[in-house]
Structure 1
Amino acid sequence: MPYFESPVDGTRLYYIDHGPADGPVAVFVASAYLGHEMWEYQTLPLAEAGYRCVALDRRGHGRSDSPWSGFDLDTLADDLHGLLDHLDLRGVTLIGHSIGTGEVLRCLTRHGTARVARLALVAGVSPGVVRSPGTPDGVDPEVVRADDEVFRRDRAAWFASGVDAFFASHLPGNEVSPEYVRYLVDLCMSTGPRAAMGIRGVVADLDAVAELPSVNVPVLVVHGTDDTSAPLDRTAERVARLVPDSTLKVYERGGHGLFVTHGERLTADLREFIDAGAARDIALAGAKSDA
């Protein structure tokens, strides 16, 4: 089974590694409560097209071990970089969804660009959605704490009640089958209460504003107009303004779950971004050799 040990504390972490070993490398980091399975509408077609698709189950999620500690952004970023080291990956495109965008950003700013060539931030909560020095117009922390109590009392009901907003399924074109909804809620429930509360704490504490200007690789920012979990103007638009080399793509009627509702479009945009980056890397390498 594809496991490796966290460089921080030895926690056993699960990942998938699909597609040809010599293909362009894309490494996926999932949303809160979810593991590698959420990316099936991206990893399968990309791997079939010749890309090497790696996806991590963060600690406490999916098939990874569930320790009590380590639910802070630095540790999660170190876990992710540990995977890149374990597989000796280079020229990587890191792709994160929701809080996964915080992890890929911190992985880059904490560990540098020796292995990472570009980032894709999909429906990100970065640079932060809860009120903080960097996000003074964020959600009131008291509102977050009250929601935490609702979540603690009945996680299953909390997930089920948020599905329509998550997918913006009240809007045309965003229909998701009841069977898929049940499947996704079951995946979320497979993340135990400690890990679930831990990752909620990471979301609540996220304030990446100061990091963004130092990001020195190309960044693709993908977001939906109707994302109620991470409103466009507070997240993606801010990231695009603060990152020097960024491209913002806005999906009309897209919600937070656009990896499903806009899955084909997202896959195509990721493929275009990876290919353009690889071509640029080759051109730069040629220019350096000529010099």
Structure 2
Amino acid sequence: MSFIKAGRDAHGNDVLLDYIDHGQGKPVVLIHGWPASYKMWEYQLTALTERGFRVIAYTRRGFGNSSKPYEGNDYDTYADDLKAVLDQLDLQDVTLVGFSMGGGEVARYMGRHGGARVRQVAFVSSVTPFLLKTTDNPEGVDRETFDKMIEGLKKDRFSFLQDFGKDFYGTGLLSNPVSDATLTWTQAMCEVADPHATIASARAWSETDFRQDLTTIKVPTLVIHGGDDTLVPAKVSGERMTRYVPHAEFIEYAGAPHGLFIPDKDRLNRDLITFVQGGDIQKTADRY
């Protein structure tokens, strides 16, 4: 395993981020979702590397094989950790790809660090612009929904993750978009996350307002969201992104669930490759 140092924790210990760095060419940085690790990008890592890109994926603090400090489960810290990745690998003209919770890192990095080193950004099933329902965000989700998630994690984290995986991939009585083996693999990956980080980061992605961050984005922007995403519905996330990033290109994958990176991997891979190459995404989308 390889690690990037992202500062120190409250006790003076190094905070280390597990990462993988494959290939050569235009750099693409993949930022994973909650509560997984960079390993969720298995099919994208392979596809992008084979097309001649340098592909970097890392695991945020508190998850996977990265350090698990008690503090730092907030988006300012996550954005600073992303900066450490870009700076220490000396990456330039980067394409950032954030999935779900990872879309928040992309937004906060662009707002907090002025988009340094970044050429373009992609949001996939992202929690942006702002999930929580408030007086000035009436289209958001009631806090009670997130409170129930926290209760489930505290009561039986493993049972919660088992049920979460099914919703994540849109698995039901009449729908089996991924295999049982994939569900088992996903749960095992998520179980490695620190319990405290799992809960604290859930509060972060559900309660952080990214709207101001998004208004700072001037680089080419791609937004992809599943039409059948029940965890982060497109109507409160992907569909609203162009309000804050008017030049963004929004593509909805009809019938796709939240975790579309596996059941819709072929389409996602083609769209990301086209985006990194500067091609016409809509022409790719029209084939589906």
Who is 1:11 aligned against? 15
5 Å-filtered alignment, 1:171-182, equals 175-182=177-184
SS at match of 1:182: helix
Q: In the aligned structure 2, how far is the partner of 1:126 from the partner of 1:141?
A: 16
The separation in 2 between residues aligned to 1:46 and 1:93, in whole angstroms, is 12
Per-residue CA deviations over 1:64-117 (Å, capped at 9, x if unaligned) read 010000001000000011100000001000001101000011111111233011
Q: Distance in 2 between matches of 1:83 and 1:265?
A: 28
Q: Verify the 8 A CA contact 1:226 1:255 in the aligned structure 2.
A: yes
- The answer as to whether partners of 2:166 and 2:183 remain within 8 angstroms in 1 is no
Q: Show CA shifts across 1:181-233 (max 9, x none).
A: 00100111010201111211111222112222221111100001000111111
Cα offset, 1:236, TM superposition: 0.5
Contact 1:173 1:261 in 2 (8 A): no
- Equivalent pair of 1:96/1:124 in contact (CA under 8 Å): yes
Mapping of 1:131-210 within 5 angstroms? Answer: 131-170=133-172, 175-210=177-212
Correspondences of 1:22-33 after superposition (within 5 Å): 23-33=25-35
Match of 1:2 in 2: 2
Which residue of the partner structure matches residue 74 of structure 1?
76
Given that residues 215 and 244 in structure 1 are in contact (C-alpha distance below 8 angstroms), is that contact kept between their aligned partners in structure 2? no
Cα distance in 2 for residues equivalent to 1:19 and 1:249: 28
**In structure 2, what is the Cα distance between the partners aligned to 1:272 and 1:140?**
37
Q: 2-side partners of 1:229 and 1:106: how far apart?
A: 21
The reply on whether 1:63 has 2:56 as its aligned counterpart is: no
| 2:18–2:65 contact (8 Å) kept in structure 1 | yes
The verdict on how the C-alpha distance between 1:8 and 1:244 changes in structure 2, with shifts beyond 3 A counting, is farther
Contact in 2 for aligned 1:167/1:255 (Cα 8 Å): yes
Note the aligned Cα RMSD (angstroms).
Answer: 1.7
Letter in structure 2 aligned against 1:271:
I
Shift of 1:5: 1.0
CA distance in 2, matches of 1:124, 1:171: 26
Could you tell me which of 98, 109, 113 is aligned with 2:100? 98
Q: Provide the secondary structure at the position in 2 that maps to 1:119.
A: strand
Q: Summarize the Cα distance change of 1:134–1:106 in structure 2 as closer, same or farther, 3 Å threshold.
A: farther
Deviations 1:11-42 (CA, angstroms, capped at 9, x unpaired): 1111110112xx01100110011111000110
Secondary structure at the aligned position of 1:259 is classed as: coil
Partner of 1:250: 252
SS in 1 for 2:273: helix
Deviation at 1:146, TM superposition (A): 3.0
- Specify the alignment match of 2:118 in structure 1: 116
133 and 54 in structure 1: CA distance in 2 versus 1, 3 angstrom threshold = farther
Q: Structure 2 unaligned runs (5+)? A: 280-288
- Mapping of 1:207-222 within 5 angstroms? 207-222=209-224
* Whole-angstrom distance in 2 between the partners of 1:130 and 1:8: 31
The 3-state SS of whatever aligns with 2:103 is helix
Residue 42 of structure 1 aligns with an amino acid whose one-letter code is: Q
Percent of paired sites with the same residue: 37
Distance between the aligned counterparts of 1:243 and 1:185, measured in 2?
A: 34
User: Match of 2:91, as an amino acid?
Assistant: L
How many residue pairs match? The answer is 275
Contact preservation (8 Å) 2:111, 2:212: no
What's the counterpart of residue 284 of structure 1? Answer: none
1:164 Cα offset (Å): 2.8
User: Distance between the aligned counterparts of 2:264 and 2:171, measured in 1?
Assistant: 12
Q: CA deviation at 1:234?
A: 0.9
Give yes or no for the alignment of 1:87 onto 2:85. Answer: no
AA aligned opposite 1:266: L
CA contact (8 A) 2:2 2:18 kept: yes
Q: TM-score, normalised by structure 2?
A: 0.91
CA drift of 1:135 comes to 2.4
Match of 1:237 in 2: 239
Q: Deviations over 1:121-170 (max 9, x none)?
A: 00011112222355223222233223311211111111111333211234
Distance across 1 between alignment mates of 2:259 and 2:126 = 11
